Structure 1
């Protein structure tokens, strides 16, 4: 089982809840859902507030966004933040501003990507208990039952690593399943590899690391070869970062 972003979340969930169906998984920047938070509904409202002028850069840093990812924020504000917040908020908390996004997120790119202004003031903690019950149905526990390799870029500007995979790795450890988990923090990786073409001097693509992780998982589950220890995978000063990535340093 493998996936990226929401697919990474599904990989985690399946290995927690249906490990009998799989040999293992590779989770690429999976979304973290926990009942009390952190989750998307605790982390994204501040991004909308910033776009509305009621929060600033320091608020984003306080919410876990990496200071080195600042140069990516304008793009994410335009494409990711508002859309992601309103889509998941409408799913888990449909009574909060039901007129936005309404029956759909819009019909034009501008409408689809636009934030709902009301989300700037969204407070997950103060919403009715029914919202947390809805999130609890999809929440992760860290109790994986098969080998799992997690990859996450430290400059992810949609799912900050500090409130995402860092938290999930600690959750797995607390459940006593750390022996089944490897976690590779990819230096200068971000949520969308396509941005490497725009910032080749500031980013590295994660896909080569994903390929290495999948190869490592195969050896782990088929041959019993333990992958390298969890670590931060530094961006090399030279070499072909588009086609190669060593997980072992």
Structure 2
């Protein structure tokens, strides 16, 4: 019996067409999965970078706070020679100064006998009080009135042009003090050949629990003793490329008051 011939629109797919469709679908799914994998990798890297940047910012904020404080103290009061208890003394709680240190005063209402923007030498220093002299180890200046305004003291001993004794060096020593447990320093190393200090902080990602090293390198600028150059790098402790890098420069506030 003769079978009627099917129209082309009524015929099924050929094996070649089926295989071709499967191939196209497989290629599409493979590319889509690869794109999803790449997107996931970039997302993870972006999250790592964001978290590492936050670590850097927090440490830098702490560093800048120390830079705003080092060498500067609010003067509690200056007492005239008529004061029976603190005759001609300057009162600053925990001033940290020693006999022979240089200091000057900024602000208003300074006691009579002293001038602002003038360098004096510390004498008769105690924990919370000291007197000042015109020369190192000289006689204390007699104050003929109490202070009446807001004053700050500026320790000018570190107002030097040396990168190893200036304010940048003093700030570097302060922020890298490994004996200060509150700084949470993992390790620190000083390289005398280039006058750099490298400090490592161990960090854990809150997202992946992966361990990272936040490495901060400090170097007083050899051309400007007021400037501390700061470089950050965050890398996995397991090795690999850094996930964040940053460079900045910090100047302690006190250095800006240094006499020219």
Calculate the TM-score normalised by the size of structure 1. 0.27
TM-score by length of 2: 0.26
Considering Cα pairs closer than 8 Å and 6+ residues apart, tell me whether 1 or 2 has the greater RCO: 1
Higher normalized helix content (fraction of residues) = 1
Structure number having the greater strand percentage: 2
